[in-house]
Chain A
Amino acid sequence: GQNIDQPTEMTATEGAIVQINCTYQTSGFNGLFWYQQHAGEAPTFLSYNVLDGLEEKGRFSSFLSRSKGYSYLLLKELQMKDSASYLCAVVDSNYQLIWGAGTKLIIKP
């Protein structure tokens, strides 16, 4: 079967750095997405990785290792507004999007 694993919940301090990991086992791979979802709101696109390496976009970076079936989302200089769920999703060989259950990130002052 196809599987995406993420931690259920993480806590971090305002101004700090946090890394949210995602491991996947899918039938084929055509890219990996990270979406941010605030409570009661729609997911919004953060990043897309299809090649190995680090993609940096402001305070957020996303890393991919296809050989390890592993990605992480790195959030720097955390702000209270970063409190949200972060969803990892993988595009499989049939271009189906396989979603993780999301990691709830709690930011404390």
Chain B
Amino acid sequence: DAMVIQNPRYQVTQFGKPVTLSCSQTLNHNVMYWYQQKSSQAPKLLFHYYDKDFNNEADTPDNFQSRRPNTSFCFLDIRSPGLGDAAMYLCATSRTANSGANVLTFGAGSRLTVL
């Protein structure tokens, strides 16, 4: 089945210790997104790639970086995690970006705990 896979599902790190979360997709979608979601809050878009074009949200901290080495993979790097970065990180894909009927397909998420 075509899908979006995130690894790891659960990540525990220490304050300030870098973390990399990965996302892969078999849908061949052009757009890949990274969202941060804290408990009982709306998903917050961090950035997205349209093919190789990187689009950073204005309020995404510099502590968060992303890489998309090819169509199938996308990585989220948190350079120096703080306690406030503990959250669920959701990867999503879509066929296109500038469309109203743009359905997102999400991965199962990576839950980050910062000690």
Contact = CB atoms under 8 A, between A and B. Distances in A.
A42 B99 CA distance: 22
A43 B45 contact: no
Interface in B1-54: 4, 40-45
Interface stretch (B59-67, B76-84, B103-111): B103-111
Given A91-B102, A99-B44, A101-B42, 12 more contacts: A40-B88, A40-B109, A40-B111, A43-B104, A48-B103, A87-B42, A87-B43, A95-B99, A95-B102, A101-B41, A102-B40, A104-B40
Q: Which 8 A-B pairs have the closest CB atoms?
A: A30-B100, A42-B106, A31-B100, A99-B42, A95-B98, A101-B42, A91-B100, A42-B108
Given A43-B90, A43-B106, A102 B42 contact: yes
Interface of B: 4, 40-45, 88, 90, 97-109, 111
Contact of A45 (B45, B103, B107): B103
Contact residues of A: prevailing secondary structure? loop
Contacts of A97: 45, 102, 104
Nearest to B43: A99
A75 interface: no
A101 B42 CA distance: 4
21 contacts: A4-B42, A30-B100, A40-B111, A41-B108, A42-B90, A42-B106, A42-B107, A42-B109, A43-B104, A44-B106, A45-B104, A50-B101, A87-B42, A95-B97, A95-B100, A96-B45, A97-B102, A100-B42, A101-B41, A101-B42, A102-B42
